[in-house]
Amino acid sequence: MSINWYPGHMKKTKDLIQANLKLVDVAIELMDARIPISSRNPQFDALLNGKKRVVALNKSDLADPAKTRLWVEYYAEKGIKAIPINSLTGQNVNQLLAEIKIECKDITDKAISQGRLIRPIRIMIVGIPNVGKSSLINKMAGRNAAVTGNKPGVTKGKQWIRINKEIELFDTPGILWPKIEEDMQGIKLACSGAIKDEILNVEDIAFHLINLLIGAYPEALYDRYKLEEKIEPVVIMEEIGRKRGCLMRGNEVDYEKVARILLDEFRKGIMGKITLESPLDLALKSEEELADETSESL
Ligand SMILES: Nc1nc2c(ncn2[C@@H]2O[C@H](COP(=O)(O)OP(=O)(O)O)[C@@H](O)[C@H]2O)c(=O)[nH]1
Ligand SMILES: [Mg+2]
C-alpha cells in the first residue's frame, strides 16, 4: 500500500509543531488505544525532545481493557504516564488533567519558591489525523471554556483555551501524519478509520482484518456473524454476505458491501472491545530492527 504524505507539507507541519511546542509546558500525545504502535509517528520523540509528555490512549471505549492495561504498564516502565481516555464521553479526562498537574509540579514549586505568581500550565495536544484531537479539545474546553486571547509570542490567530484555573490549552493541535513503514501498519490504520476509505481497497483491508481477528479475537468474529470455526477468510466473507443479504445479480456475493459492513462494525466496536497491537509486538519489532542492523553491518 503506498500512500503519499506530501514531504513538503510534512516539513512545514513539523516546523510548526516544533515552534508551537516551545510555548507549552507539556505535550499530550494522543494515540488510538486499539493500535498504539501504528497510530503514533515515532518522529514525535525527536520533536518532543525532552519536553514533558503525557500519553493519552484515546478511544479506550473500543479497546480491549486487558491490552490497555499492558500499554499503561509499558509506558510506566519508560517513566511516562499513560492514561486511557474516551474523548467523546470525557471519561478519565479529569484524571489526565490531574496527571498533567503532577507532571508540572516542579514548575509551580519553583514559582512559589521564587515568590513569583503561579501562571497556568500550558498544554498542547499532538497526534496523527483522526486520533481524536478535536474531540479532546472540545471535551476539555467544555461549555465554560473561555478563550483567553492572543498572547505575545504566539503565532497570530492562535489562542489559549482556559480549561480551569490552573491549565491552559493551545487551541491548535500538532498534527503529524503516520509514518507508514510496512503494509500491516497501513492496514491497521485503515481498520481503525484513520485513513479515508476512498483511497483504499476496502475488500483488501477487510480481508486483512478478518485474518487479524482470527489470530487474536476469533470468538468476536465467529460470535458476531455466527460462523463455523476454522473456515478460510474468503469463505467467511462469502458467508457473511449471504447472511446479510449482500448479493448482486446472479446471487453473487457483493464482497465490497461485506467489507464495508465488517469495517463499519469493527470501527463502532460492535464485534467487541478489540486491540490489534500489544507491547509485545513492539519488542518483536525492535528485535527485527536489531537483526536488520546487525545483518547490514556484517
Ligand atoms: N469511540 C470513540 N470515538 C472517538 C473518540 N474520540 C474521537 N472519536 C471519533 O474519532 C473520529 C475522529 O475524531 P477527531 O476528534 O475529529 O480527530 P482529529 O482528526 O484527531 O481531530 C470522530 O469520528 C470522533 O467522533 C473516543 O474516545 N471514542
Ligand atoms: Mg481535528
In a domain, 12, yes or no: yes
Ligand that lies nearest to the alpha carbon of residue 196, given by its number in the listed order: 1
CB atoms within 10 A of CB 87: 26
Number of domains in the chain: 2
For residue 261, what pLDDT band results from cuts at 50, 70 and 90? very high
Same domain, 78 and 158: yes
Query: What is the pLDDT, as a whole number, of residue 240?
Result: 96
C-alpha cell at 104: 508540572
- 106 alpha carbon – ligand 1 mean position (Å): 32
C-alpha cell at 70: 499492558
User: In whole angstroms, how far apart are CA 112 and each of 98, 101, 107, 118, 163?
Assistant: 19, 15, 9, 7, 22
In a domain, 256, yes or no: yes
State the burial class of residue 144 (Cβ atoms within 10 Å of its Cβ: 0-12, 13-18, 19+): exposed
Rounded Cα–Cα distance for residues 195 and 33 (Å): 16
Rounded Cα–Cα distance for residues 269 and 103 (Å): 33
**CB-based contact 124:169 (threshold 8 Å):** yes
For residue 13, what pLDDT band results from cuts at 50, 70 and 90? confident
Query: CB within 8 A of 291, min separation 6: which ones?
Result: none
What ligand 1 atom has the least distance to the C-alpha of 87? 27
Please report the sign of the dihedral spanned by the C-alpha atoms of residue 157, residue 163, residue 165, residue 168: negative
Q: Check whether 145 has a pLDDT greater than 90.
A: no
In a domain, 284, yes or no: yes
State mean pLDDT over 52-79.
98
Residue of 28, 85, 88, 273 best suited for mutating to test ligand 1, as the one with most atoms within 8 Å of CB? 88
Rounded Cα–Cα distance for residues 25 and 254 (Å): 52
Query: What are the tens digits of pLDDT across the range 271-290?
Result: 999 999 999 998 887 777 77
DSSP string, 2-23: -----HHHHHHHHHHHHHHHTT
Closest CA to 91 of 125, 122, 135, 25: 135
Same domain, 228 and 106: no
**CB-based contact 47:22 (threshold 8 Å):** no
Q: Using CA atoms of 142, 145, 151, 155 in order, give the dihedral in degrees to the nearest 10.
A: 40
Cβ(129) to ligand 1 under 6 A? yes
Rounded Cα–Cα distance for residues 129 and 58 (Å): 13
In a domain, 252, yes or no: yes
Phi and psi angles of residue 19, each rounded to the nearest 5 degrees, phi first? -65, -45
Which H helix or E strand runs over 106? helix 105-113
Same domain, 224 and 273: yes
Cβ(134) to ligand 1 under 6 A? yes
Q: Check whether 144 has a pLDDT greater than 70.
A: no
Which amino acid makes up residue 59?
K
Dump strand ranges (E) for the chain. 26-32, 52-58, 82-84, 121-127, 146-147, 160-162, 167-170, 174-175
State mean pLDDT over 78-99.
97
Query: What are the tens digits of pLDDT across the range 195-226?
Result: 888 888 999 999 999 999 999 999 999 999 99
In a domain, 1, yes or no: no
Same domain, 249 and 137: no
State the burial class of residue 78 (Cβ atoms within 10 Å of its Cβ: 0-12, 13-18, 19+): exposed
pTM: 0.91
Rounded Cα–Cα distance for residues 156 and 7 (Å): 25
Range of the domain at 269: 201-288
Cβ(39) to ligand 1 under 6 A? no
Choosing from 175, 192, 221, the residue where a domain stops is 175
- 127 alpha carbon – ligand 2 mean position (Å): 10
In a domain, 194, yes or no: no
Query: What is the pLDDT, as a whole number, of residue 65?
Result: 98
Mean residue pLDDT of the chain comes to: 90
State mean pLDDT over 172-201.
90
What ligand 1 atom has the least distance to the C-alpha of 129? 19
Cβ(20) to ligand 1 under 6 A? no
Rounded Cα–Cα distance for residues 8 and 10 (Å): 5
Same domain, 159 and 17: yes
